């Protein structure tokens, strides 16, 4: 369906109201400082920051690893199934305000089992929020379990094993955390096993690491979708393949800005990717840490790159 172009001054309203799917967000990255403090208080977990404002003002990062360290500290307040429900419910309420109609939500079981929680505490709490989302918010939501790539493949196998009794509550498997030095090949066997088990497969690739990581996410892990993938622009043969095979990229512009993948939003390659025929989508990644939810990602990126309503319709269709 072709939509008529609209005047630039009406673009923010189109971006806000347009129905969209969010396909790349880490639920732990939606924990706002207010909720971190509230949960810390109710669970008796002390934080290294004296106030909500002090915590928020620490959200300045030079790279992915600096972010991951503070993101991990935020997760220490999560203790009960109710905490996981509350975190996901708060995100879904916020997503509804941004006209999200479908969300595929990443979570890292290993972060929480590393703090002594059971996988079922995590998965049951998140899943209950997803199951209630159609009635509460008019949103369908599903869960993707991300292995942490800085840990071993053996630990990923253990994580998969722990999730299997709750298999029906998880739609897919992904790969997140520190990218450089932890290539997709490290997880070849556990992804093959997840594939045999019928999980849908995605992986972060080409966020900070070179295009070779995207090639091996596709060829070794056999993922259906690439999370980030912005480094593909440096490899013409890879770009051709992504276009020809319509491999979706879940792009997260404000994340890339905050983690210094691009020096400014005006340098982001989203527009070039779309104009080259890449099936790109716009997503928030870790909205509590990166300065905005999905609509902030749309409006700020469109303004910085001079994108049009036709790009908006294309992105919504892609998602």
User: Hey, which residues are catalytic here?
Assistant: 207
Note the helical H segments in 171-229. 188-196, 211-219
Q: Given the complex with ligand ADE, which of 75 and 82 has the nearer CB atom?
A: 75
Quote the strand ranges of the chain, DSSP E. 20-26, 100-107, 140-148, 172-176, 200-205, 225-228, 248-251, 279-282
How many Å separate Cα 241 from the centre of its chain? 23
Are 27 and 283 in contact, with CB atoms under 8 Å apart? no
Residue 207 interacting entry, from ligand ADE, Zn ion, none, C-beta within 5 to 8 Å by type? ligand ADE
Residue 81 interacting entry, from ligand ADE, Zn ion, none, C-beta within 5 to 8 Å by type? none
x-or-dash pattern for Zn ion, window 231-270, by CB under 5 A? ----------------------------------------
Minimum gap (Å) between residue 227 Cβ and ligand ADE: 8
Q: Given the complex with ligand ADE, which of 94 and 149 has the nearer CB atom?
A: 149
Q: Given the complex with Zn ion, which of 258 and 311 has the nearer CB atom?
A: 258
Number of H helices, E strands in the chain: 15, 8
Minimum gap (Å) between residue 91 Cβ and Zn ion: 14
Residue 29 interacting entry, from ligand ADE, Zn ion, none, C-beta within 5 to 8 Å by type? ligand ADE
Are 141 and 103 in contact, with CB atoms under 8 Å apart? yes
Q: Is 149 helix (H, G, I), strand (E, B) or coil?
A: coil
Minimum gap (Å) between residue 204 Cβ and ligand ADE: 5
* Count of CB atoms situated within 10 Å of the CB of 2: 6
Residue 22 interacting entry, from Zn ion, ligand ADE, none, C-beta within 5 to 8 Å by type? none
Minimum gap (Å) between residue 207 Cβ and Zn ion: 7
Please enumerate in sequence order all residues whose Cβ is within 8 A of that of 183, keeping only pairs 6 or more positions apart, or say none. Answer: 209, 212, 213, 216
Are 21 and 102 in contact, with CB atoms under 8 Å apart? yes
Are 318 and 21 in contact, with CB atoms under 8 Å apart? no
Minimum gap (Å) between residue 207 Cβ and ligand ADE: 5
Are 64 and 205 in contact, with CB atoms under 8 Å apart? no
Residue 86 interacting entry, from ligand ADE, Zn ion, none, C-beta within 5 to 8 Å by type? none
CA 232/CA 270 separation, integer angstroms = 11
Q: Given the complex with ligand ADE, which of 105 and 160 has the nearer CB atom?
A: 105
Query: CA torsion sign, 149 to 291 to 92 to 44?
Result: positive
x-or-dash pattern for Zn ion, window 278-307, by CB under 5 A? -------x----------------------
Q: Given the complex with Zn ion, which of 121 and 284 has the nearer CB atom?
A: 284
Are 119 and 113 in contact, with CB atoms under 8 Å apart? yes
Minimum gap (Å) between residue 284 Cβ and Zn ion: 9
Q: Given the complex with ligand ADE, which of 146 and 194 has the nearer CB atom?
A: 146
* Contact positions vs ligand ADE (CB under 6 A): 26, 29, 64, 71, 176-177, 204, 207, 255, 285-286
The tokens for 275 are 């104009």
The tokens for 143 are 């869960």
Q: Is 22 in the site for Zn ion (CB under 5 A)?
A: no
CA 74/CA 11 separation, integer angstroms = 35
Using CB under 5 A as the criterion, which residues of the chain lie in contact with Zn ion when the complex forms? 285
């Amino acid at each position: 369906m072709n939509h008529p172009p609209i005047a630039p001054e009406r673009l923010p309203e189109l971006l806000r109201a347009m129905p969209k799917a969010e396909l790349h967000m880490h639920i732990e990255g939606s924990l706002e400082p207010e909720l971190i403090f509230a949960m810390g208080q109710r669970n008796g977990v002390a934080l290294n920051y004296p106030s909500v404002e002090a915590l928020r003002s620490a959200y300045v990062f030079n790279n992915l690893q600096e972010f991951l360290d503070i993101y991990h500290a935020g997760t220490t307040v999560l203790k009960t199934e109710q905490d996981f429900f509350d975190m996901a419910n708060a995100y879904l309420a916020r997503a509804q305000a941004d006209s999200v109609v479908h969300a595929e939500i990443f979570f890292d079981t290993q972060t929480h089992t590393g703090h002594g929680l059971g996988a079922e505490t995590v998965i049951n709490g998140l899943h209950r929020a997803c199951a209630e989302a159609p009635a509460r918010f008019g949103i369908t939501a599903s869960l993707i379990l991300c292995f942490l790539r800085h840990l071993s493949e053996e630990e990923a196998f253990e994580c998969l094993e722990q999730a299997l009794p709750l298999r029906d509550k998880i739609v897919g498997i992904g790969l997140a955390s520190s990218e450089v030095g932890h290539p997709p090949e490290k997880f070849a066997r556990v992804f093959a096993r997840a594939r045999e088990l019928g999980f849908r497969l995605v992986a972060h690739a080409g966020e900070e690491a070179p295009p070779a990581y995207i090639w091996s996410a596709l060829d070794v892990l056999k993922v259906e979708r690439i999370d980030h993938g912005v480094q593909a622009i440096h490899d013409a043969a890879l770009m051709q393949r992504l276009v020809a095979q319509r491999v979706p990229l879940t792009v997260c512009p404000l994340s890339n800005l905050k983690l210094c993948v691009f020096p400014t939003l005006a340098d982001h390659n989203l527009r070039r990717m779309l104009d080259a025929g890449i099936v790109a989508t716009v997503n928030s990644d870790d909205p509590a840490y990166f300065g905005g939810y999905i609509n902030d990602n749309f409006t700020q990126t469109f303004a910085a790159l001079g994108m049009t309503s036709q790009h908006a319709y294309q992105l919504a269709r892609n998602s």
